[in-house]
Amino acid sequence: MIPRTYPLISVVMATFNGEQFVVEQLDSVFKQTFSNIEVIVVDDCSTDNTREILEQYQFHYSTMRVVINDTNLGYIKNFEKGMLLATGDFIAPCDQDDIWLPEKLEKLMAQIKDYPIIYSNSSLINEQGKDLNQKLSDVKRLTTFSTPLNYSIGNSAPGHAMLINRKVIEWAIPLPQSIPHDYWIGFVGTFSGSVKFIDESLILYRQHRSNVFGVTKVKNRKIQRKTIKNEEQFRTRLRMSLLFEKCPPYLKEKQIFFDLMRSYESFSLMNNFKRMLLFFAHSKEILAFKNRSVIRRWVYCIKMFYQIV
């Protein structure tokens, strides 16, 4: 068992209608071999029995604090609220529906050293908790990310597997609502070092069934696709603008983000050409999170002449 003299880890969980799985997750958190933890749970106006379950755990565990929101904040701002309430030297985001292996925090803490963020692999389970005999690294490229450019168009380092130095959170807040919280935090983490990956599964990552939507008329689908495309392009331009603004001026990547942002402003021939050249020049960094051969990376870069992502 880890002595209480070790740094404090704040486990921050954001819940919303999580009664089906939250008990398993909380049990796994309180069974961690790293004992110097506090557990901050912020519930985002659940309408099921989640609140009652959380209050029962809070009664039994003095290291747990439960906060119930007055209004629904959404998952990003809910996580932000929990992180602002955390007092630990390190912060471990926690989803409500996974299961942590007992040594998760101990092993991450033992290897974080001077890295701003460390994260591990995950084993996939289905909704009933059955092992799917697959790791997250089988479907996504998990690696050590060492430059903000690794976060230009996406990233694969999941928040549920992270241990984060508190200083990164302080720098990352406020979290923009248009970018996933773990994406943004990982991006900020690369300002001061690498987001370190260890290839060991320390989480059982639960996969949910997809919702099935009804079939709409073809005409409506075309209108919907056009609306979605326009919204996606708006969000993409906004994301690139936010990344540029946040990237500190002492990093060489600042200028590259500026050039990318400008190339995303329109589909002019000049912008399309500049965007494609930028992707070619920095494809190794920009596409670091994708499992692609050199040829497939080239094809992807050529596509940037016709689209933005």
Residue at which a domain ends, from 153, 182, 206: 206
Mean pLDDT of the chain: 93
Per-residue pLDDT of the chain (309 residues; tens, 9 = 90+): 444 568 999 999 999 999 999 999 999 999 999 999 999 999 999 999 999 999 999 999 999 999 999 999 999 999 999 999 999 999 999 999 999 999 999 999 999 999 999 999 999 999 999 999 999 999 999 999 999 999 999 999 999 999 999 999 999 999 999 999 999 999 999 999 999 999 999 999 999 763 223 333 334 555 566 566 778 889 999 999 999 999 999 999 999 999 999 999 998 999 999 999 999 999 999 999 999 999 999 999 999 998 888
The rounded radius of gyration (Å) of the Cα atoms in the chain is: 21
Residue at which a domain ends, from 175, 206, 237: 206
Residue 23 shares a structural domain with residue 46: yes
Residue at which a domain ends, from 172, 206, 240: 206
Is residue 1 in some structural domain?
no
The predicted structure's pLDDT at residue 6: 85
Residue 214, both tokens: 């009804």
Is residue 4 in some structural domain?
no
**Which CATH number is 97's domain given?**
3.90.550.10
Q: What is the pLDDT of residues 101-139, one digit of tens each?
A: 999 999 999 999 999 999 999 999 999 999 999 999 999
Rounded to the nearest 5 degrees, what angle is found at the Cα of 82, between the Cα atoms of 175 and 135?
A: 80
Would you call 231 helix, strand, or coil by DSSP? helix
Residue 56 shares a structural domain with residue 134: yes
Beta-bridge partner residues of 119: 162, 197
Please tell me the total count of domains within the chain. Answer: 2
The predicted structure's pLDDT at residue 143: 98
Is residue 213 in some structural domain?
no
Cβ neighbours for 75, distance < 8 A, ≥ 6 positions apart = 14, 16, 44, 181
* Residue 45, burial from CB neighbour count under 10 angstroms (0-12, 13-18, 19+): middle
Rounded to the nearest 5 degrees, what angle is found at the Cα of 136, between the Cα atoms of 183 and 153?
A: 30
What is the pairing mode between strands 99-100 and 64-68? unpaired
Would you call 115 helix, strand, or coil by DSSP? coil
Residue 261, both tokens: 């942002």
Is residue 93 in some structural domain?
yes
Residue 87 shares a structural domain with residue 32: yes
Confirm if 148 and 195 have CB atoms less than 8 A apart: no
The predicted structure's pLDDT at residue 95: 97
What separation in angstroms does the CA of 155 have from each of 42, 95, 167? 26, 18, 21
Residue 27 shares a structural domain with residue 168: yes
- The values of phi and psi at residue 177, to 5°, are -80, -10
Is residue 234 in some structural domain?
yes
- H-run or E-run covering 59: helix 50-60
The predicted structure's pLDDT at residue 224: 62
The predicted structure's pLDDT at residue 299: 96
Residue 30 shares a structural domain with residue 157: yes
Domain with 250, as residue range(s), is: 218-303
pTM of the model as a whole: 0.92
